[in-house]
Amino acid sequence: MTNTPAHGGADEAVGPATRKLVWVIVLGAMAPALDTTIVTVALAALGRGLHASVASSQWTITGYLLAMGMAMPLTRWVMERYGQRRVWLASLAAFGISSALAGAAWNIDSLIVFRLLQGAAAGLIIPLASTMLVSAAGRKRLGRVMAIASMVVVVVPIFGPVAGGLIVRYLGWRWVFYVNPPLCAAAMWLAWRKLPASPSRPGRSLDLAGLALLAPGLALVIYGLSEASGTSGFAATRAWAPLLAGIALTAAFAFHALHRRDSPLIDVRLLRVRTYAASTTVLFLSGLSVYGPLLLLALYFQDVQGHSALVAGLLLAPQGIGSLIPRGIAGKLTDRIGARPVAVTGLLLVALGTLAFAWAGPSTSEWLLGASLFVRGAGLAPVTIAVQAGAFRNIAPASVPDASSTTRIAQQVGGSLGSAVLALILSSALLARHATTAAGRGLAFDTAFWWAIALGALALLPALLLPAARKKDDGPARAPEPVAGFHAADEQRGFPGSVSTSHG
Q: What distance in Å separates the CA atoms of residue 451 and residue 424, rounded to the nearest whole number?
A: 11
Q: In whole angstroms, give the CA distance from residue 468 to residue 166.
A: 43
If asked whether residues 406 and 383 sit together in one domain, one would say yes
Which region among 48-52, 104-108, 143-147, 270-274 has the lowest average model confidence (pLDDT)?
143-147
Same domain flag for 142 and 113: yes
In a domain, residue 126? The reply is yes
Q: Are 187 and 17 in contact (CB under 8 A)?
A: no
pLDDT of residue 120: 92
pLDDT band, residue 479 (cuts 50/70/90): very low
Sequence-distant (≥ 6) Cβ neighbours of residue 343 within 8 angstroms: 282, 382, 383, 386, 387, 390, 463, 466
HSE-CB of 482 using CA atoms within 13 angstroms: 12
Least confident of 9-13, 174-178, 199-203, 325-329: 9-13
Torsion, Cα 328 334 335 340, to 10 degrees, reads: 180
* Nearest to 330, CA basis, from 379, 374, 278, 375: 379
pLDDT over 80 at 327, yes or no:
no
Q: Do 305 and 231 share a structural domain?
A: no
Residues 6+ apart with CB under 8 A from 316: 158, 161, 162, 297, 298, 301, 373
Q: Which amino acid is at 422?
A: L
Give, in degrees to the nearest 5, the angle at Cα 114 between 33 and 190: 45
Same domain, 383 and 363: yes
Number of domains forming the structure of the chain: 3
For residues 422 and 292, what is the distance between their CA atoms, to the nearest angstrom?
7
CB 351 within 8 A of CB 453: yes
Residue 39 falls within a domain, yes or no? yes
Establish if 391 belongs to a structural domain: yes
Q: Tens digits of per-residue pLDDT, 204-230?
A: 678 888 888 988 888 888 888 777 766
From 144, 162, 196, give the residue that closes a domain. Answer: 196
Query: In sequence order, what are the beta bridge partners of 2?
Result: 503
CATH of the domain at 121: 1.20.1250.20
Q: Mean of the pLDDT values across residues 83-111?
A: 93
202: exposed, middle or buried (C-beta count within 10 Å: 0-12, 13-18, 19+)? exposed
Do both 226 and 88 map to the same domain?
A: no
Q: Is residue 438 part of a domain?
A: yes
Cα first-last separation, the chain = 5
Higher pLDDT, 111 or 304: 111
The pTM of this model reads 0.73
Report the distance separating Cα 157 and Cα 38, nearest Å.
9
List all residues 6 or more positions away from 470 whose beta carbon is below 8 Å from its beta carbon: 10, 140, 338
Q: pLDDT by residue (tens digit) across 348-368?
A: 999 999 999 999 888 888 899
Question: Taking residues 92-107, what's their average pLDDT?
Answer: 95
| SS3 assignment, position 395 | coil
> Do the domain assignments include residue 424?
yes
Tell me whether residue 305 is in a domain.
yes
Q: Which of 453, 429, 425, 449 is nearest to 440 (CA)?
A: 429
Contact (CB, 8 A) for 346 and 383: yes
Query: Same domain for 145 and 259?
Result: no
CA distance 82 to 92: 15
Tens digit of pLDDT for each residue in 124-171? Answer: 998 888 788 777 766 666 667 776 766 666 667 667 777 888 888 888
Same domain, 428 and 321: yes
**pLDDT tens per residue across span 441-477:** 888 888 889 988 888 888 888 888 887 765 443 444 4
Cα separation of 35 and 126, whole Å? Answer: 12
Nearest CA to 386 out of 354, 348, 357 is that of 348
Residues 285 and 418 in one domain: yes
Domain span including residue 318: 273-470
Any domain includes 504: no
If asked whether residues 243 and 392 sit together in one domain, one would say: no
In a domain, 499, yes or no: no
223 and 165 share one domain: no
Q: Are residues 115 and 49 in the same domain?
A: yes
Q: Among 196, 228, 249, where does a domain finish?
A: 196
| Paired strand residues for 4 | 501
Q: What is the pLDDT of residue 181?
A: 95
Side-chain half-sphere exposure of 13, counting CA atoms within 13 A = 5
3-class SS of residue 3 = strand
Give the residue among 475, 334, 345, 351 at the shortest CA–CA distance from 391.
334
pLDDT reading at 175 higher than 90: yes
Contact between 260 and 213 (Cβ < 8 Å): no
The reply to whether 320 and 396 lie within a common domain is: yes
| pLDDT (average), residues 275-280 | 84
